[in-house]
Amino acid sequence: MKDNHQLLTHPQKSTPKMGSVSYQEALKKWSERPTQLLSSSQSLSSLESVGRTDVGRERTHNEDYFSIDQQYFCTPDLPDGSYRGLYILCDGMGGMAKGEVASELATKTLRSYLNSRWQRHLPTEIGLELAMNTANKAVYERNQREQRTGSGRMGTTAVVVMVNNSHIRYVHIGDSRLYRLTRQGLQQLTTDHNAYERALQRGYSPEEAQAYGPQLTKALGPWSGESLHPQSQTLAVEEDTVFLLCSDGLSDHNLLENHTQSHLMGLLDFRTDLANGIDQLMTLANQKNGHDNITAVAVRLRPQQSSV
């Protein structure tokens, strides 16, 4: 059973705040702005991030957990500076107040592993897979030590995003998602690891696949890891972009897809306050999806303007 922590706030900004405008003004002004695609080799001129989590309206405790690490470097060999960010979101399960143990343990294990191996360049895709396996082992061994069995075994989903200037690498396990928002719209980058998606991959129609439900087919902790096989992806940021990590309490019922215009597109205007925008999104999610814990980590990036 998925049970899904008190309100946590970790806003981080690596750029001076611009003049504030209302959300509706930002949405109108952004819609009038021409798209400008930039070379994938461009560095960033701005990197901002905000994280929020809420217990929801029906749960008694919060089993979501997230972490934000963000830095700006300026060295002799990088006179223009370099942005780096590590963002992790985990959604625990296991009941009896153990879901939050799994999500916190996995988050801290991933954070420690990746930060200790991150030098100048992003860890490789294999490195991200090894990080997931290490987090899986930490939760799995906790289950073994406590002799937890069946539905009493704790586990957690995980979605990890790493930013190195305009280069992004991400990996996930379970049904916590990563979305990319640009002026072209909202795109879901991850595919849920659950019975419904597995049925679709096996050729069932969406109507037939509904019968298989949302049960997770992959998670960190319940199993030893032989079948984990997380797949990471790499991409480049070529225009103003917001990446959104979210637990299923936020993504349920197509909430983000159904409210892209009203609650997301304005976030692409850097004069808007990212924290305020995410607060509004969390309020909406509590109204629509308050049956579960709700967590969001938003990462807003702006590439350097081309000098050409």
Instruction: State the average pLDDT over residues 215-236.
Output: 90
What's the predicted TM-score (pTM) here? 0.86
pLDDT at 240 exceeding the cut of 70: yes
Q: Measuring CA to CA, which residue among 102, 7, 101, 30 is closest to residue 270?
A: 30
| Per-residue pLDDT tens digits for 101-146 | 999 999 999 999 999 988 778 999 899 999 999 999 999 999 999 9
Say what the pLDDT of residue 53 is: 97
Say what the pLDDT of residue 193 is: 95
| Per-residue pLDDT tens digits for 16-25 | 333 444 444 5
Say what the pLDDT of residue 55 is: 95
pLDDT at 307 exceeding the cut of 90: no
> Which stretches of 33-154 are assigned E, i.e. beta strand?
44-54, 64-75, 78-93
| Strand-strand pairing, 167-173 and 185-188 | unpaired
**Cα→Cα distances 272→19, 22, 113, Å:** 8, 7, 34
**Cα→Cα distances 278→8, 12, 50, 257, 273, Å:** 13, 13, 8, 15, 9
pLDDT at 41 exceeding the cut of 60: no
Instruction: State the average pLDDT over residues 36-65.
Output: 82
CB 83 within 8 A of CB 163: yes
Write down all domains in the chain, each with its CATH number in brackets.
8-302 (3.60.40.10)
Distance of CA 83 to the CA centre of its chain: 18
Q: Which residues contact 221 (CB under 8 A, 6 or more apart)?
A: 102, 106, 136, 139, 140, 142, 143, 153, 154, 155, 156
pLDDT at 296 exceeding the cut of 90: yes
Instruction: State the average pLDDT over residues 68-87.
Output: 81
Q: CA 100 to CA 106: how far, in whole Å?
A: 10
Residue 49 pairs in a beta bridge with: 12, 299
CB 174 within 8 A of CB 193: yes
